[in-house]
């Protein structure tokens, strides 16, 4: 362990090499890389505990319950865990295998997605027929390199050149009628870009026949927020292919175990994390920045990485005297959206007993999996359409996770901790407010589980509801958007959150970097923007001393 450094005091506050505003996992990852490189770094976090939407608390006696995320699908495809040697700081993942299931219908058994492709195809064949099973095998072969290229692009600054290089050679010539080397290459690239820009629904209709299978994959793809009718959502479904290479991981002890390991790593490298005192302004002072917190404390630093919501960063800059007209323009360009969903956290006396499961499952059944409780895409369309006009979904689309079956430490013996995520729920209701609507909406979410696992509702002992309004209040997720700003294609890659603010920098604010879900590559547990911002800082220091 390295002792925390004692920073020198200046008229503008304690001097640090770098200050990170926001101790979500992206801010912590940025801090960890800087501390590892010997920088004197401090994280300023508004909340009483670090981690933001990657944190786990005891909500009910003896139950460890996630406050935000539960399943880590992306970060295990990155260099972050190894670079920071987080295993040495206590982080351990259980592979989620099965990694997903789609419940049985009246006419077909549940579809179970295993890491093993053969086992998955066997399940698809039983539920959807031999043609879709063969199509899924080919789909995985086609989309695995593409999804890997997307992941590659996620951990690099987003530029057209890098993006193009990541996808070189991944197009399909099969449907191109073009001839000659140049013609074929051009056709290949055009086919690829058309498929990447396609709506997820179009992708599914192209590949598969069974609505059961299409519904499950569409619901998997819709986890980022946009509906699968939106352009550019095909890769969100294609990402499923990569789950046969590295499945989603469940951090032992809860999602917050990632944060605990990062906190340990930062402390070991002499970094500081200060919680419970939000930043209230970021002000340019000569060649330095002054970051002031609500308690009146000040930090003086050449480098700030702002890893909170981008609208919060704009507020902090405005409070520090940044040009208000420019801030207002940027603010108007950023689309936060109308809210994505809500979470219901439960303590139960039993695991849900889903109907129609195959009998070749491991001892933990499907409880390692994302329960994709949607068997027809009309369910998704209705939920999304209702939310668009401020109404509750007629039936919420639910992801059910019962990880205490694979990590028994999450709940007292004989009890279980269940996380339910449900879409779409509008942040602003057309009638009434969330304080009144929350309980009924939560009932509807639990009823969806009960529909596929009869008797589940009676097993509920404890319930904690997080409406979109609660997610904003507790986690600072403006508008209840768990991805900070919409993950629509016009706000991804070199357009996230806006072309001006892309590149993890703010024009006219030298030394101020952006990270967090508001920036490329967006929300979810990736750590990517923290990784990219930290490397941008380190590269800059190497160039300018």
Ligand X SMILES: Cc1cc2nc3c(=O)[nH]c(=O)nc-3n(C[C@H](O)[C@H](O)[C@H](O)COP(=O)(O)OP(=O)(O)OC[C@H]3O[C@@H](n4cnc5c(N)ncnc54)[C@H](O)[C@@H]3O)c2cc1C
Residues making contact with ligand X (CB under 6 A): 21-27, 44-47, 52-54, 68-71, 73, 278-279, 307-308, 312, 343, 421, 466, 471, 475-477, 482-483, 516-517, 523-525
Q: What is the DSSP letter of 499?
A: T
Distances in whole angstroms, Cα of residue 404 to Cα of each of 146, 251, 512: 33, 11, 41
Closest CA to 486 of 187, 195, 230, 180: 230
Our CB check for ligand X shows the closer of 271 and 523 to be 523
CA atoms of 525 and 513, how far apart (whole Å): 20
Burial 246-271 (b: 16+ CB within 10 A, else e): bbbbbbbbbbbbbbbbbbbbbbbbbb
Nearer to ligand X, 171 or 337 (CB): 337
Q: Is 449 helix (H, G, I), strand (E, B) or coil?
A: helix
CB of 67 to ligand X, least distance (A): 7
Q: Which is nearer to ligand X, 128 or 533 (CB)?
A: 533
What's the closest the beta carbon of residue 471 comes to ligand X, in angstroms?
A: 5
| Residue 93 Cβ vs ligand X, minimum distance, rounded to whole Å | 13
Residue closest to ligand X, measured at CB: 24
Task: Kindly state the smallest distance separating residue 18's Cβ from ligand X, in Å.
Answer: 15
Nearer to ligand X, 96 or 124 (CB): 96
Residue 198 or 342: the one with the smaller Cβ distance to ligand X is 342
Q: Smaller CB distance to ligand X: residue 364 or 496?
A: 496
We find the least distance from the C-beta atom of residue 529 to ligand X, in angstroms, to be 6
Q: Using an 8 Å Cβ cutoff, are 2 and 235 in contact?
A: no
* Nearer to ligand X (CB atom), residue 73 or residue 135: 73
* DSSP H or E segment with residue 59: strand 56-60
State which residue, 104 or 475, has the beta carbon closest to ligand X. Answer: 475
Residue 52: which of 438, 474, 393, 475 has the closest Cα?
Answer: 475
Shortest separation between residue 230's beta carbon and ligand X, angstroms:
18
Query: What are φ and ψ of residue 292, in 5° steps?
Result: -110, 140
Cα–Cα distance measured from residue 46 to residue 1, given in angstroms and rounded to the nearest whole number: 26
Question: CB 190 → ligand X: shortest distance, Å?
Answer: 32
Cβ(304)–Cβ(22) below 8 Å: no
Which of 136, 94, 108, 131 lies closest to 220 in space, CA to CA? 136
State the pairing for strand pair 56-60/93-95.
unpaired
Peptide bond into 312 cis (omega under 30): no
CB of 28 to ligand X, least distance (A): 8
């Amino acid at each position: 362990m390295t002792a925390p450094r004692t920073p020198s005091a200046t008229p503008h506050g304690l001097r640090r090499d770098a200050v990170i505003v926001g101790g979500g996992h992206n801010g912590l990852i940025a801090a960890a890389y800087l501390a590892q490189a010997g920088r004197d770094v401090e994280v300023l976090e508004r909340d009483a505990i670090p981690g933001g939407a990657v944190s786990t608390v005891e909500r009910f006696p003896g139950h460890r319950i996630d406050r935000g995320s539960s399943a880590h699908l992306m970060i295990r495809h990155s260099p972050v865990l190894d670079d920071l040697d987080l295993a040495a700081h206590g982080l351990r993942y259980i592979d989620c295998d099965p990694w997903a299931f789609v419940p049985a219908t009246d006419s077909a058994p549940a579809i179970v997605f295993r890491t093993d492709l053969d086992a998955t195809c066997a399940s698809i064949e039983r539920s959807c027929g031999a043609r879709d099973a063969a199509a899924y095998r080919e789909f995985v072969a086609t989309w695995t390199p593409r999804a890997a290229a997307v992941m590659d692009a996620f951990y690099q600054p987003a530029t057209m050149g890098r993006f193009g290089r990541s996808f070189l050679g991944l197009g399909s010539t099969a449907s191109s009628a073009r001839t000659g080397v140049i013609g074929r290459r051009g056709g290949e690239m055009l086919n690829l870009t058309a498929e990447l820009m396609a709506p997820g629904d179009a992708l599914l209709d192209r590949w598969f026949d069974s609505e059961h299978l299409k519904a499950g994959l569409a619901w998997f793809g819709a986890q980022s927020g946009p509906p699968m009718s939106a352009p550019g959502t095909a890769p969100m479904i294609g990402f499923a292919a990569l789950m046969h290479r590295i499945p989603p991981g469940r951090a032992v002890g809860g999602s917050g175990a990632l944060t605990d390991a990062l906190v340990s790593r930062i402390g070991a490298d002499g970094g500081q994390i200060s919680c419970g005192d939000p930043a209230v302004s970021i002000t340019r002072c000569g060649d330095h920045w002054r970051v002031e917190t609500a308690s009146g404390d000040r930090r003086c630093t050449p480098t700030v990485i702002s890893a909170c919501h981008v609208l919060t960063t704009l507020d902090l800059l405005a409070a520090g005297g940044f040009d208000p007209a420019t801030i207002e323009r940027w603010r108007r360009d950023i689309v936060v959206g109308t809210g994505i969903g809500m979470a219901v956290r439960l303590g139960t006396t039993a695991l849900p007993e889903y109907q129609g499961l195959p009998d070749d499952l491991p001892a933990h059944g499907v409880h390692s999996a994302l329960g994709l409780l949607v068997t027809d895409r009309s369910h998704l369309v209705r939920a999304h359409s209702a939310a668009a006009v401020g109404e509750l979904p007629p039936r919420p689309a639910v992801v059910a996770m019962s990880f205490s079956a694979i990590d028994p430490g999450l709940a007292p013996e004989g009890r279980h901790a269940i996380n339910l995520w449900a879409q779409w729920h509008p942040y602003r209701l057309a009638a009434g407010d969330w304080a009144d609507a929350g309980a009924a909406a939560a009932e509807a979410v639990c009823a969806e589980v009960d529909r596929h696992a009869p008797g589940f509702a009676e097993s509920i002992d404890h319930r904690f509801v997080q409406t979109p309004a609660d997610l904003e209040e507790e986690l600072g997720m403006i508008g209840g958007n768990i991805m900070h700003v919409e993950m629509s294609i016009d706000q991804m890659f070199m357009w996230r959150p806006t072309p001006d603010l892309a590149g993890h920098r703010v024009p006219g604010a030298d030394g101020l970097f952006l990270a967090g879900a508001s920036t490329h590559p967006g929300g979810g547990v990736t750590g990517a923007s923290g990784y990219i911002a930290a490397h941008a800082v380190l590269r800059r220091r190497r160039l300018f001393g």
